[in-house]
Chains A and B, each alone.
Chain A
Amino acid sequence: AQTVTQSQPEMSVQEAETVTLSCTYDTSESDYYLFWYKQPPSRQMILVIRQEAYKQQNATENRFSVNFQKAAKSFSLKISDSQLGDAAMYFCAYRSAQSNFGNEKLTFGTGTRLTIIP
């Protein structure tokens, strides 16, 4: 079974600064997807960024980028130029890529609560 670990329950960062959230995972599979989801106080889960395991290039979405280290099974999220609207719970998630049918299950980490200090 796959597991996802987020070792930072809470993080805080000054507005406009950069912050990195950590995530490690354990799997015996070679092909999979990794995601970072954001859950603001409204509770709506929003996809921030995604990474395919077979791609060596780190994914980037505007101010959000990841550092994907497949051998180390590490998948950290970097938020640059932090904004007040970035305040939320951030969840790292794993999904197997073995089959596109009946394998949509996401395994989540416990989350990191990010606070933005004005």
Chain B
Amino acid sequence: KAGVTQTPRYLIKTRGQQVTLSCSPISGHRSVSWYQQTPGQGLQFLFEYFSETQRNKGNFPGRFSGRQFSNSRSEMNVSTLELGDSALYLCASSLITGFGEQFFGPGTRLTVL
């Protein structure tokens, strides 16, 4: 069974631009969560989607948004990029039932210049 895939793997943008990151969960997984990882702030929860609905949101400004499609694929968008948005963005999917173990993708490394 294929794992969680994220595209693109690397991205370089300039301040003020916007960016869209994509995440394809493991087949059958309906929950997708996004995390931002930076050296200064560590791993921080961005948001979680289940059945195309945002179920939970972390403490990030409105420039960070996301959505989930009917096939459970998810995208996150960051508008008006700032230097501080440079980070590794990780996506995780889970089955929800039972333990709800989360399986992580390889991440998208975003660099904002």
| Residue positions of A touching B, CB distance < 8 A | 33, 37, 42-47, 50, 52, 91, 95, 100-111
Contact = CB atoms under 8 A, between A and B. Distances in A.
Interface string B23-59: 0000000010101000000110100101000011010
* Majority secondary structure of chain A interface residues (helix, strand, loop or mixed): loop
B66 interface: no
B51 to A, nearest CB: 9
Given A103-B56, A104-B102, A106-B102, A45 B45 contact: no
17 contacts: A44-B106, A45-B90, A46-B104, A50-B99, A52-B99, A100-B98, A100-B100, A101-B96, A102-B56, A103-B55, A104-B50, A104-B56, A105-B58, A106-B102, A107-B45, A108-B42, A108-B43
Nearest to B9: A43
Given A101-B50, A101-B55, A106-B33, A50 B101 contact: yes
Contacts of B92: 45, 104, 106
Closest 9 CB pairs of A and B: A102-B55, A45-B104, A108-B43, A105-B45, A110-B42, A104-B48, A100-B96, A104-B33, A104-B31
B101 A105 contact: no
B21 interface: no
Interface of B: 31, 33, 35, 42-43, 45, 48, 50, 55-56, 58, 88, 90, 92, 94, 96-104, 106-107
Contacts of A111: 42-43
A33 to B, nearest CB: 7
Given A37-B104, A47-B101, A106-B92, 17 more contacts: A33-B99, A43-B107, A44-B106, A45-B90, A50-B101, A52-B99, A104-B48, A104-B50, A104-B96, A104-B100, A105-B48, A105-B56, A106-B33, A108-B35, A108-B42, A111-B42, A111-B43
B103 to A, nearest CB: 8
A8 B35 CA distance: 22
Contacts of B100: 33, 95, 100, 104
Contacts of B42: 108-111
A95 B99 CA distance: 10
